[in-house]
């Protein structure tokens, strides 16, 4: 292991932290950057394992709220419904991801062209959904039932504005949308945010539910990939992973604290354009 490898690991960690909770595909960015840097990790394990830094960052930011939910589970039905909703949303991608793990890692992760195309197509979809979605200032609905006290068009435009009170059927639908992110470049957060927006969530609530869903999804991917590749890891791999982990944690901590306010003000269009620019640049680099 040399200083160049450590620098590349640090750079990839920063990119992971910056992109994990944005709808731009952290995996797609890591795979493309690693490809053009010539950075190779055993079985592409590095790209998955440094997600632990981002997981711990979001746990740190939401620790107080998650603690309140955990303590309320025995007595509060809404707390239990929230936990069940996140688990329901987590299951589809977990089952399909485990079933297709070999194909995803050996084929999709090794095909940069797929990543570029997914970034561009996903950017177009995100731009379309962002443009058609009503601003977060419209009347709100935060329960399973219909909104009360609103008439006519206001009733039709009501949204779910509380990520912790999404209906269970809505959680399942978002979880099914997350399965698209098994294709690198699609984006886990992007697919869940698009699904939530189309189902009536406000932009801020869609992003926040994506954060919550990311915790078990990323932790599950981390644990499963570590188990599958335990025999392939070496001490050098561990050192690079630690460097990437620390950088991912610090940058993700900053992103999680700032991104919700940014999304509330600017929506998702900036991320859509970024995806398309990166995808197009990647295609140009691959075809030259």
Q: What is the mean pLDDT of residues 45-65?
A: 86
Q: What angle do CA 65, 68, 70 make, to 5 degrees?
A: 110
| Each residue's pLDDT tens digit, 120-161 | 999 999 999 988 875 554 444 444 443 333 333 333 444 788
Provide the CA 229 distance to its chain's centre, in angstroms.
Answer: 23
209 to each of 193, 228, 278, how far by Cα in Å? 8, 29, 26
**Would you kindly state where each structural domain of the chain is located, as residue ranges?**
3-287
Q: What is the mean pLDDT of residues 57-85?
A: 93
For the chain, give the mean pLDDT: 85
Strands (E) located in 24-143: 140-141
Phi, psi of 50 (to 5 degrees): -75, -10
Among the listed residues 75, 73, 94, 93, the one whose alpha carbon sits nearest the alpha carbon of residue 84? 73
Q: For residue 205, what pLDDT is reported?
A: 92
Task: With beta carbons less than 8 A apart as the criterion, state whether 81 and 168 touch.
Answer: yes
Handedness of CA 55, 61, 64, 68 (dihedral sign): negative
The secondary structure of 97-108 as a DSSP string is HHHTHHHIIIII
Among the listed residues 43, 45, 51, 46, the one whose alpha carbon sits nearest the alpha carbon of residue 106? 43
What is the pTM assigned to this prediction? 0.84
Tell me which of 39-48, 95-104, 107-116, 223-232 is least confident. 39-48
Q: Report percent pLDDT > 90 for the chain.
A: 57
Q: For residue 193, what pLDDT is reported?
A: 94
| Each residue's pLDDT tens digit, 173-208 | 999 999 999 999 999 999 999 999 999 999 889 999
Q: What is the mean pLDDT of residues 242-256?
A: 92
> Burial level of 153, CB count in 10 A (0-12/13-18/19+)?
exposed
């Amino acid at each position: 292991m040399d200083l160049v490898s450590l620098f590349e690991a640090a750079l990839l960690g920063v990119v992971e932290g910056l992109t994990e909770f944005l709808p731009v595909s952290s995996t797609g960015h890591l795979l493309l950057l690693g490809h053009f840097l010539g950075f190779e990790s055993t079985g592409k394990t590095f790209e998955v394992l440094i997600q632990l830094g981002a997981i711990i960052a979001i746990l740190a930011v939401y620790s107080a709220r998650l603690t309140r939910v955990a303590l309320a589970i025995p007595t509060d039905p809404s707390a239990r419904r929230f936990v069940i909703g996140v688990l329901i949303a987590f299951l589809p991608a977990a089952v399909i991801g485990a079933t297709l793990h070999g194909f995803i890692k050996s084929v999709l992760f090794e095909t940069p062209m797929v990543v570029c195309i997914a970034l561009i197509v996903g950017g177009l979809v995100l731009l379309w959904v962002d443009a058609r979605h009503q601003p977060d200032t419209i009347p709100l609905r935060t329960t399973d039932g219909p909104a009360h006290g609103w008439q006519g068009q206001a009733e039709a435009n009501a949204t779910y504005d509380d990520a912790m009170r999404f209906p269970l059927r809505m959680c399942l639908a978002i979880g099914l949308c997350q399965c698209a992110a098994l294709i690198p470049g699609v984006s886990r957060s992007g697919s869940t945010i698009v699904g939530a927006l189309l189902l009536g969530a406000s932009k801020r609530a869609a992003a926040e539910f994506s954060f919550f869903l990311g915790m078990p999804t990323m932790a599950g991917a981390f644990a499963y990939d570590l188990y599958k590749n335990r025999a392939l890891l070496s001490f050098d791999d561990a050192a690079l992973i630690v460097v990437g982990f620390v950088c991912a944690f610090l940058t993700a901590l900053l992103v999680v604290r700032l991104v919700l306010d940014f999304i509330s003000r600017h929506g998702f269009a900036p991320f859509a354009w970024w995806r398309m620019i990166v995808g197009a640049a990647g295609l140009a680099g691959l075809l030259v």
